[in-house]
């Protein structure tokens, strides 16, 4: 029997604070893992193994909510590692420690003084870090959120002649601030999904700032439960099965080369579990062997302990497309299947991201023209194949529990977003349902 839980160490400093650690217990052996957090004994619950959040404000640990969230996240990660190692019959103290400590736990160095309390400057610094790691789009998201927050701050403070670019402190972010910001985003014509992205990003940065010693007020996001107040259902992008079949049967031989390439990629995406456009861009010939395509979603590559592998059987239509892209006129460069990324040209993460973005625009435009030619009025984008794949399988009777891993989703809740409501189900085989 293996257990992993937070514990309050019995020895600490002269100030009365004791260190919070994790204890791993396997059989009759134990191992401890340090954290950066301390608390007073009276602030700790031996029953829940968490900080007590119901104490009066003067007695409660100022970061109780955040630290509890951190501890629970680490326990969840640890349980996943234990379960996986037990399945492989490879669970030992040493093997667990190797995997647990290899997680992406990089603690940022405390920012310089002008970054310690300023929200905008902290976001700018985070954007630069993300882009240096090759996470260009996520870095851009931080820039968008920063600009939004500064515009909002200017708006609510304009009566005291605030400068549009004037920064403000994390201590100003409380529940009242967040409620007002949410209302302002809605009046600014932001969709609920955009609002969720902005608030989730702000929540993540607020947590990072707290961990890095930046002066903040109490963690406000436990009380500010914004996600339950947002309509996160997306506009349905799935095509009816018959329309998708009409697209697949289109005579593409007469198309110009560039449009033919994009048409074939669209068909390939649908037949390969609704493969995301970015994943297609990164797909290499080495990912294909023994009649299967095996790849990991680019979006999830940092989730080191998630099951991120997707396996696609190379059915006849998929093999036809792959054979086409082995020809010189269609072939990609540098081992890539599709002619999107060229390692000789796109050498930096920013160049690769720009190339994928511009190619996706041309891909969408080309397939929209073909859709119009076969009588499809739905706007075609790179997301349509993914939604259609999920919806067609679900309408064919396949349960969400089987569709989820095929799409590389971490939860069935995400898969549900892709599925159209249906009233009658038939129990067909997965790929028979597609064609």
- What are the tens digits of pLDDT across the range 170-208? 999 999 999 999 999 999 888 898 999 999 999 999 998
CA separation for the pair 359, 339 (Å, rounded):
10
Where would I find the H helices in 272-315? 277-282
Largest CA distance in the chain: 81
Number of helices and strands in the chain (H, E): 14, 8
Residue-level pLDDT at 106? 38
Q: What is the DSSP letter of 25?
A: E
34: exposed, middle or buried (Cβ count in 10 Å: 0-12, 13-18, 19+): exposed
Over residues 13-43, the pLDDT tens digits come to 667 889 999 999 998 899 999 888 889 999 9
pLDDT, averaged across the chain? 83
How many percent of the chain have pLDDT more than 90?
40
Residue-level pLDDT at 428? 40
> Is residue 107's pLDDT more than 50?
no
Q: Binning pLDDT at 50, 70 and 90, where does residue 408 land? A: low
Q: Binning pLDDT at 50, 70 and 90, where does residue 136 land? A: confident
| 8 SS3 class | strand
Q: Binning pLDDT at 50, 70 and 90, where does residue 68 land? A: confident
> Is residue 279's pLDDT more than 90?
yes
**Average pLDDT for residues 273-302, to the nearest whole number?**
88
Q: What is the DSSP letter of 9?
A: -
**Average pLDDT for residues 136-157, to the nearest whole number?**
89
Q: Are strands 18-26 and 2-8 parallel, antiparallel or unpaired?
A: antiparallel
Q: In what order do the strands lie in the sheet with 309-313?
A: 288-289, 292-296, 309-313
Query: By the 8 A CB rule, do 88 and 103 touch?
Result: no
Q: What residues contact residue 368 under an 8 Å CB cut-off, 6+ apart?
A: 379, 380
> Is residue 58's pLDDT more than 70?
yes
Q: Binning pLDDT at 50, 70 and 90, where does residue 4 land? A: very high
Instruction: Count other Cβ atoms within 10 Å, centred on residue 435.
Output: 15
Q: What residues contact residue 362 under an 8 Å CB cut-off, 6+ apart?
A: 258, 262
Residue-level pLDDT at 338? 95
CA separation for the pair 146, 152 (Å, rounded):
10
Angle, vertex CA 235, rays to CA 231 and CA 239, nearest 5: 150
Q: Binning pLDDT at 50, 70 and 90, where does residue 329 land? A: confident
> Is residue 104's pLDDT more than 70?
no
Most confident range (mean pLDDT) of 96-110, 230-244, 332-346 is 332-346
> Is residue 384's pLDDT more than 70?
yes
User: Among 56-70, 353-367, 399-413, which stretch is predicted with the lowest mean pLDDT?
Assistant: 399-413
């Amino acid at each position: 029997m293996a257990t992993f839980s937070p514990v309050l160490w019995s020895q600490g400093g002269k100030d009365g604070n004791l260190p919070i650690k994790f204890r791993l217990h396997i059989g009759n052996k134990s191992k401890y893992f340090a954290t950066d957090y301390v608390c007073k004994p009276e602030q700790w619950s031996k029953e829940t193994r968490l900080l007590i959040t119901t104490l009066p404000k003067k007695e409660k640990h100022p970061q109780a909510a955040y630290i509890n969230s951190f501890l629970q996240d680490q326990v969840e990660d640890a349980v996943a590692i234990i379960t996986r190692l037990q399945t492989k019959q490879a669970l030992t103290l040493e093997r667990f420690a190797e995997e647990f400590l290899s997680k992406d736990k990089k603690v940022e160095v405390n920012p310089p003084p002008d970054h310690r309390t300023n929200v905008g400057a902290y976001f700018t610094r985070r954007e630069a870090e993300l882009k240096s790691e090759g996470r260009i789009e996520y870095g851009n998201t931080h820039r968008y959120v920063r600009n939004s927050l500064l515009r909002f701050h200017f708006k609510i403070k304009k009566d005291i002649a605030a400068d549009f670019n004037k920064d403000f402190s994390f201590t100003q972010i409380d529940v009242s601030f967040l409620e007002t910001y949410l209302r302002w985003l809605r009046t600014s014509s932001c969709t609920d999904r955009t609002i969720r992205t902005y608030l989730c990003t702000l929540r993540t940065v607020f947590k990072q700032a707290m961990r890095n010693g930046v002066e903040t007020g109490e963690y406000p996001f436990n009380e500010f439960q914004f996600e339950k107040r947002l309509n996160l259902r997306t506009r349905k992008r799935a095509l009816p099965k018959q329309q998708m079949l009409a697209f697949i049967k289109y005579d593409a031989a007469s198309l110009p080369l560039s449009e033919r390439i994009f048409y074939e990629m669209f068909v390939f995406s649908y037949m390969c579990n609704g493969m995301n456009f970015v994943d297609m861009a990164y797909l290499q010939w080495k990912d294909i062997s023994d009649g299967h395509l095996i790849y990991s979603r680019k979006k999830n590559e940092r989730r080191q302990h998630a099951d991120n592998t997707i396996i696609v059987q190379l059915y006849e239509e998929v093999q036809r497309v792959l054979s086409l892209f082995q020809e010189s006129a269609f072939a990609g460069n540098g081992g890539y299947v599709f002619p999107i990324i060229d390692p000789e040209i796109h050498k930096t993460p920013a160049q690769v991201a720009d190339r994928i973005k511009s190619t996706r625009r041309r891909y969408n435009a080309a397939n929209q023209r073909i859709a119009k030619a076969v009588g499809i009025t739905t706007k075609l984008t790179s997301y349509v194949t993914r939604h259609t794949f999920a919806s067609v399988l679900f309408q064919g009777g396949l349960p969400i529990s089987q569709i989820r891993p095929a799409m590389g989703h971490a939860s069935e809740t995400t898969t549900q977003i892709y599925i159209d409501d249906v009233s009658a189900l038939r129990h067909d085989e997965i790929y028979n349902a597609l064609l």
